[in-house]
Chain A
Amino acid sequence: ACHQQQQVVVLKMAHGLDTQHPVHQAMQHMATRLGELSAGSMRIDIYPNAQLGGEREILELLQIGSLALTKVSSGPMESFVPSFKVFSIPYVFRDYAHLWRVLQGEVGRELLQAGDAVRLHGLGYYDAGSRSFYTTAAPVHSPADLAGLKIRVQNSITSVEMVRALGGAATPIPWAEIYTALQQGVVDGAENNPPSYYLSKHYEVAPYFSLDEHAFVPDILLVSLPVWEGLSPQQRQWLQQAADDSVQLQRQLWRESTAHALAQLRAAGVTIIEPDKRAFRAAVAPMHASFRGTATGALLQRIAAVE
């Protein structure tokens, strides 16, 4: 470490996932690409496992400028850029392809740029698939099966409203405590995407997975605005290129990881249900209507208008 080249720009990248997660692997690719593009004059150090803090705290550290890069779910992003709450509203997107047409279109670009006002510069979207419910005692075929169940949600107002709209009782619990909470019956279920459900081993205690796909929630790749502004135009271009390459790889890794997770879950004896989504969509219609006339409502309309 003593004989480092002069002038190597080190960018510290922190996130909350473990090293086997596709996001981490895509970040490693980003680090490799940046090293290649810049001929070793720029380097990314990755800190996985929430070593440097949870998602909300990492965002603050990006604003302060002591960390350079991170990826966050759109849930925590809501507290910083309110328009990101559209992703937590259930059944906003018709399907997976619709989500990506929106993200790669005008709406997606605007949302990424909205972060600049709060010192968070968006570099791109990672795929985080779709979120579905899993429960401890009985399978969920329709919203009626959720009635009265205590469902763990992310700590966000919109997630709480989402579960309420579907008839469950929303209970925000920290990520690390979900396993015990499910096991001890503090909550009856939770919701997440297939790889997280598999990797967190929550299926050990909640073996009913209902692929209702109530939300398509992308992750956002961000750079600290003070750090970004400290880079030369050439360095910014390298970083953006490395991010784009990483995003490409991540989408492919994510698809593989989802297929692998579902196969492993089946092998582990998890009951996987593919419910009829019409009843779920109908249940959240009043929630969509409640946004009419607000900025979020306008955004919802623009998203619906995307072919």
Chain B
Amino acid sequence: MAALVVNILWQVTSRFALNDPSSYTEEIARFLLIWIGLLGGCYAYRHNSHLGLDLLTQKLSPAAQRLAALLIDTVTIAFAALVLGYGGGQLVWLTLELQQTSAALGIPMGYVYSVLPLSGALMVFYCLALRDRTRAPEQGS
């Protein structure tokens, strides 16, 4: 993850430093952003730091809260498995099979999209294990 941020930074700054309008850096930056957005989304999910509305659930009984949490976990697993995993997998298959390449780099778009099934798998994994169920700690320092 950290390497991705460094990469973006490197691409943008090297573009500036070389002062040669490179046609690749823009594309690399966008693709890295996709990877950061989805993998980082899984990481944030693991830390329970995604935005939610806890107005109603705060007022529920502990048993009802557990039920709500169970339902949400089920929806999350379904989303991760069906949309990111299966849908994303189909998209990867489609773009690899039909040989779509990126405009500037000419790399297969399927490689870029492979982050979809990857993050789907990660999210299911985090949901079933390893997940921090308390709210993310307040910002320190």
Contact = CB atoms under 8 A, between A and B. Distances in A.
Interface of A: 56, 60, 63-64, 76, 78-80, 117-119, 150, 155-157, 160, 169-172
B34 to A, nearest CB: 13
B23 A63 contact: no
A80 B103 contact: no
- Most A C-beta atoms less than 10 A away, residue of B23, B100, B102: B23
B101 A119 contact: no
Given A76-B103, A156-B104, A169-B20, 6 more contacts: A60-B95, A150-B21, A155-B27, A157-B23, A157-B103, A169-B21
A157 B105 CA distance: 8
Contacts of A155: 23, 26-27, 103-104
B99 interface: yes
Interface centre among B90, B91, B99 (most CB of A within 10 A): B99
Interface string B24-52: 00110000000000000000000000000
A64 B104 contact: no
B100 A157 contact: no
B35 to A, nearest CB: 18
Chain B binding surface, main DSSP class: loop
Contacts of A56: 103
B21 A170 contact: yes
Interface residues of B, number: 18
A258 B9 CA distance: 43
Nearest to B99: A118
B94 A64 contact: yes
Nearest to A150: B21
Nearest to A80: B100
Nearest to A161: B23
Contacts of A172: 23, 26, 103-104
A79 B101 contact: yes
Q: Which of A119, A156, A172 has the most CB of B within 10 A?
A: A172
B98 A171 contact: no
21 contacts: A60-B94, A60-B100, A76-B103, A78-B103, A79-B101, A79-B103, A118-B98, A119-B98, A155-B23, A155-B27, A155-B104, A156-B104, A157-B23, A160-B23, A169-B21, A170-B21, A171-B21, A171-B23, A172-B23, A172-B103, A172-B104
Nearest to B21: A171
B62 interface: no
A85 to B, nearest CB: 11
Contacts of B98: 63, 80, 117-119
B103 A156 contact: yes
A238 B39 CA distance: 47
Contacts of B91: 60, 64
A56 B26 CA distance: 16
A63 B102 contact: no
Nearest to B27: A155
Contact of A157 (B20, B99, B106): B106
A119 B97 CA distance: 11
A235 B114 CA distance: 37
8 nearest A-B pairs in the assembled complex, by CB-CB distance: A171-B21, A118-B98, A155-B103, A160-B23, A79-B101, A169-B21, A172-B23, A156-B103
